[in-house]
Structures are given as C-alpha cells and as structure tokens.
C-alpha cells in the first residue's frame, strides 16, 4: 500500500535528473516507503511474539519462540517471577518499537496504513 501511494511524477522526475533504477530506488522509493515498511514490521511481528499455538502445532520441537518459553515458565516450571519478568521484557521491547515508530515517523502515519 505504501508503494501505491508514491506519485509516479516523483519517480519520473528522478529519471529526468539522470538517476538510474538503483539510485531512484535508494533515494526516492525507499525513503517514501519507510513508514509502510515499519508499520508492516510492527503489525507482523508484535502478534508473532506471543503466538505459541502455531509453533506447537506447526513448528515441531526444534523451534522455540518467546511465547512458548513464557508459557512453559508459568505452566510447567511454576516460575511465576521468571515468566512475569520475561513478559515485562517482551512488553518493553514491543512498546519501545512502537514509541520509536511514533517518534521517528510520526504517529499520524500509522493511522494511514491501518
């Protein structure tokens, strides 16, 4: 969706100024799509932090995800302090990513991509 919003005239202006395809991508397209890329990153990976059901069903025993570790700390090991602290760390990392997005790219742009 972020690529669809780029005005073709801006890209044509880059080509008129003798920019090749790589330079036009690096200096025009990529900077204009960074808010969309970061929003897609947040919308994809924040739900995946706690997605332990799919890992249990599809991933097998070789993969370990943070949601599974937290679940095992609470339910199997009865380590409530460790599970709570790991959950708090996960929450802080998630909130830091959202705050960084809002600080660098503006909180208004996240509404445009939802």
Tell me the pLDDT of the chain (114 aa) as tens digits: 677 778 889 888 988 999 899 999 998 888 888 878 887 877 887 777 766 666 666 666 666 777 778 888 999 999 999 999 998 998 898 888 878 877 877 655 545 544
Q: Is 71 exposed, middle or buried (CB count within 10 Å of its CB: 0-12, 13-18, 19+)?
A: middle
Is 89 domain-assigned?
Answer: yes
Distance CA 76, CA 51 (A): 18
- Within 8 A by CB and 6+ apart from 43, the residues are 114
Is 22 domain-assigned?
Answer: no
CA distances from 35 to 2, 16, 93, 95 (A): 8, 26, 19, 17
- pLDDT at res. 79: 92
Is 8 domain-assigned?
Answer: no
Is 18 domain-assigned?
Answer: no
Is 16 domain-assigned?
Answer: no
Is 25 domain-assigned?
Answer: no
How many domains does one find in the chain? 1
Is 82 domain-assigned?
Answer: yes
Question: If you search the block for the tokens 């959950």, which residue do you land on?
Answer: 87
Is 47 domain-assigned?
Answer: yes
Q: What DSSP line would sit under 67-87, residue for residue?
A: HHHHHHHHHTS--HHHHHHHH
- The residue range of the domain holding 100 is 35-113
Q: Would you say the pTM of this structure is higher than 0.75?
A: no
């Amino acid at each position: 969706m972020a690529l669809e919003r780029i005005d073709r005239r801006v890209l044509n202006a880059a080509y008129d100024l003798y920019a090749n395809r790589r330079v036009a991508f690096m200096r025009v397209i990529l900077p204009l799509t960074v808010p969309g890329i970061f929003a897609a990153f947040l919308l994809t990976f924040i739900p995946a932090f706690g997605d332990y059901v799919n890992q249990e069903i599809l991933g097998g025993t070789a993969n370990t995800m943070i949601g599974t570790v937290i679940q095992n700390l609470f339910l199997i090991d009865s380590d409530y302090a460790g599970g709570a602290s790991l959950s708090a760390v996960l929450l802080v990392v998630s909130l830091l990513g959202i705050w960084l997005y809002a600080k660098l790219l503006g909180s208004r742009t996240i509404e445009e991509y939802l």
